[in-house]
Amino acid sequence: MAKIEIIPAIDIIGGKCVRLSQGDYERKTVYNEDPLEVARMFEDAGLGRLHLVDLDGARAKRIINHKVLETIASRTQLVIDFGGGLKSDEDLRIAFNSGAAMVTGGSIAVRDREVFLSWIESYGPEKIILGADVRDGKISIAGWQEESSIELIPFIESYTKEGIRKVISTDISKDGMLQGPSFGLYNEVLKTFPDLYLIASGGIASMEDIYQLADAGVPGVITGKAIYEGKISLQEIEKYNQ
């Protein structure tokens, strides 16, 4: 079986570790007051990566929770990709100075292509991840509060031509619902871009979902709620990674 990189997620609102359902800020569950504690739990289970999302930042359209990033980066060895509200060169500077190894840009890639392209040029495609979050096949932005008219495949293509090699794609309708991921969506993306480092996100409900994505050749997967709700244990992930 092909191996898949399992990346746990921590979403931050008000400095706390939360999860939303389908991106709805009104449907929020607080799982832990201390994101560092959660990050250390992941690290203790042998995980090397972390997907850290500043949900306050996504709403405010600027970086907010960089102190949380700094704390986790300085007190763990986790390789962190950070996203949520990164709109300016200054936001990016703060994120990297606070310890992010990579950043994810979604809304900015839709709204201000020139700025996003300048980030790829300045920092290199290893450090910049394209966020391609979809609802009904169309890209969503601003913490999923706004729809665009842009379709997923052309959107990814427009940036792979510019050097992007890593993409996180979330099917918003699946996110936080624990009903399985969008296998069809990821198959379509990989068929079109076989060399892409595609990270699937949204809907993961069990290790079986992760095995299926691995079998389909998906290189990476983000899971959050399934871990917090006990649908996937850290022991299972540890065993898989060994």
Neighbour tally for 184: CB within 10 Å: 10
Tell me the β-bridge partners of 201: 170, 222
Helices (H) and strands (E) in the chain, counts: 11, 13
Q: Is 44 a catalytic residue?
A: no
Q: Is 11 a catalytic residue?
A: yes
Amino acid at 64: I
Neighbour tally for 136: CB within 10 Å: 9
Please report the DSSP string for 108-166 in residue order.
Answer: HHHH-HHHHHHHHHHH-TTTEEEE--EETTEEEETTTTEEEEEEHHHHHHHHHTTT--E
The one catalytic residue in 133, 171, 175, 209 is: 133
Q: Are strands 49-54 and 102-105 parallel, antiparallel or unpaired?
A: unpaired
For the annotated catalytic residues, the residue numbers are 11, 133
